[in-house]
Structures are given as C-alpha cells and as structure tokens.
Amino acid sequence: MSLYELKEVARSLGMPAFTGGQMAKWLYSQHVRTIDEMTNISKANREKLAEQYTVGCMPPVDCQKSVDGTIKYLFPTSTGKRVETVFIPDNDRATLCVSSEVGCKMNCLFCQTGKQGYEGSLTAADILNQIYALPERDRLTNIVFMGQGEPMDNLDNVLRATEVLTADYGYAWSPKRITVSSVGLRRKLQRFLDESECHVAISLHSAIPEQRAQLMPAERGMSITEIVELLRNYDFSHQRRLSFEYIVFGGVNDSTAHAKEIVRLLRGLDCRINLIRFHQIPGVDLHGADEKRMESLRDYLTAHGIFTTIRASRGQDIYAACGLLSTAKKIEDARRQ
C-alpha cells in the first residue's frame, strides 16, 4: 500500500492518520513480518489491524544455487501460484531479476517462459514480496524487471511496485537503480515513460521487422520501428538510460548486415545495446553465436556510435539465465501434491 492508502486504513479503523506513517516505516524501513511487531502502535490498534490485514510477507519455498553464486528463488503468490526470481551477486553489486507475471503472453520463440503460457499477473504485493522476503535484500544495489512476464502487460501493478520502491515513504531508492524491460507495447510503454523515471530496456533481437516477427509475435501488433519513433520523443541523454537487449543467434541475426540494420534503426538515439548469449531450450532450432561472432558484432556497433557490451551469462546451470525461467513444471508438481 502507498502512504495515502495506509493513512486511509488508519482513518477507517478510527486511528489517527499519522498511524499510517508509522505503518509505512515498519513495513518499508524495518521490514516487519507481522503487525504485532509494530510496537509504537498501541496493542489495541494492532489487534484492530490484524483482524483485517496482514503484512503479506511470504518467504521463498525453494532455492537453487549456481556454481557462479547466482541464486534462483521460487516465491509463492497471493493466488497460490509460484514465480521465479534470480539474485545475481557481482563483487560490490547485487542485482535482483524480478518477475511481473506467472508465465507470459508474448510467446517469444527463444524464451522458456513463453512456452509456459500465461497463468496470471502478479499483484503489486506479489512483485514487492520478491524483494521484501529476499534473504539478501539488504545487499541489493539494482533491480531489473526481466524475469517472468511482460512488465507492460501488468503495468498498473508494476507502477505501484516501483512507486513504493522509489518513494520517500517506501524504500527511497533512486529510480536509476531500477530497469524495466518490454517487448514494446506502445501505449503502455508510453504511459510508463510518462509516469516513471526508471531505466527502460527494449527487447530487440532483430532490427529487421519480418525476422523480428518470426522471433517475437508481438512485432506483428507493434513494429519495432514504431517503438523507436516513440522513444525518440524522450530524453535519454542525462541520467535516465535506454538500452536494447539483443540475444545473438548463430547464423540468424549475427551478421554484419544485421549490425548495419541496427545502426540504421537506432541512428541518433541515445542508447546502448546489451548482447546476450542464447541458452538452448527444448524444441527450438536456434543456437548461440560463438564468442568471435559476438565480439565482432560488439565492435562493429561500438565503432558506429552505439555503446555495446556483451552481458555475462549467469546461473545457466540452474536454469536461471536469460530466457530460461519457467514455473510450469513446478506448478504441475505442486498440483499433484
């Protein structure tokens, strides 16, 4: 809940409005697990609150640890489903890859989450719980909405969650510590750009519309050229960052001709590109490009004015790397139990 909503809860139960501010501090600064821990609220008022509300903190039900230190957590949701979250430590940085949906509607060819199908949107509480109940919460330096689901497809709850993360009454994080990804749902992306100051990452994967449509069905409903034209209306030359995610498939989108199309599409746009290694998924005839090809693509793009990096692959051995998240089997196992 926002500070305004917490104050309304207090008023509705006959408490002073400042009790809402006390609740916000207990929730977002102290991370209490129960209402009874809010000790500067009278016992009688805590009992009133507990009759109708809970903190909602739900710890992960499972975790897997990679040889590289990455940890994948399985969190319960308010609807009884489960969702995966990935904690990625890297020296003095620690990034959390959070999910916004159970499964995904976008059905990108190369993504295991897309093969799961769409099973429901997470509430703002479900999204925040991935942070609130994370054992390593106090080590976090960055959050990326790049887990299961398309964030713009669940925009209201994503915005509610990022408000709490960035508001003074909440976690008080700078929005520059948060990156929200999208395949490019134009109207919702525009609303996000207008209502949030968080970084934006666009899933590109090909600058050729016909090929991108084969990889990403969302292209048929909203062309990447239209998305780029929308992005040109916003200023990314200061602190807010725009990036494009580009999974490199061997023999598919890794040629110099593909690089030239990227330069043509993004010319004049203040942005960067993250090249991502492809991780094989069952039933998909795509393969990752070799290291030499990845480096050649990076060097070409950088030489033509687009800052480009090759993203380190993390957590592949526990299926926590990019495109590998899926709770389909875990949900089915839970149903059988």
> What distance lies between CA 311 and its chain's CA centroid?
16
> Per-residue DSSP letters for 179-235?
EEEES--HHHHHHHHHH--SEEEEE-S-SSHHHHHHH-THHHHS-HHHHHHHHTTS-
- CA dist 53 and 237 (Å) reads 44
Q: What is the pLDDT of residue 216?
A: 96
CA distances from 326 to 118, 237, 323 (A): 11, 36, 9
**What type of residue sits at position 186?**
R
CA distances from 58 to 80, 219, 273 (A): 11, 36, 36
Contact assessment for residue 181 and residue 189, using Cβ atoms and an 8 Å cutoff: no
Residue that the structure tokens 């129960």 belong to: 34
- pLDDT tens digits in sequence order for the chain, 337 residues long: 999 999 999 999 999 999 999 999 999 999 999 999 999 999 999 999 999 999 999 999 999 999 999 999 999 999 999 999 999 999 999 999 999 999 999 999 998 888 888 999 999 999 999 999 999 999 999 999 999 999 999 999 999 999 999 999 999 999 999 999 999 999 999 999 999 999 999 999 999 999 999 999 999 998 999 999 999 999 999 889 999 999 999 999 999 999 999 999 999 999 999 999 998 888 889 999 999 999 999 999 999 999 999 998 776 776 655 656 677 655 444 444 4
Query: Catalytic: which of 101, 291, 322, 332?
Result: 322
Pairing of strands 272-277, 307-310: parallel
Q: Is 322 a known active-site residue?
A: yes
Q: What is the pLDDT of residue 319?
A: 66
Residues facing 203 on adjacent strands:
245
Query: Catalytic: which of 63, 84, 101, 163?
Result: 84
Q: Is 332 a known active-site residue?
A: no
Q: What is the pLDDT of residue 12?
A: 97
- CA dist 114 and 105 (Å) reads 7
Q: If we measure between CA atoms, which residue out of 208, 192, 115 comes closest to residue 151?
A: 192
Q: Dihedrals φ, ψ of 323, to 5°? A: 85, 0
Judged by DSSP in three states, 237 sits in coil
What is the helix (H) or strand (E) element at residue 137, kind and residue range? none
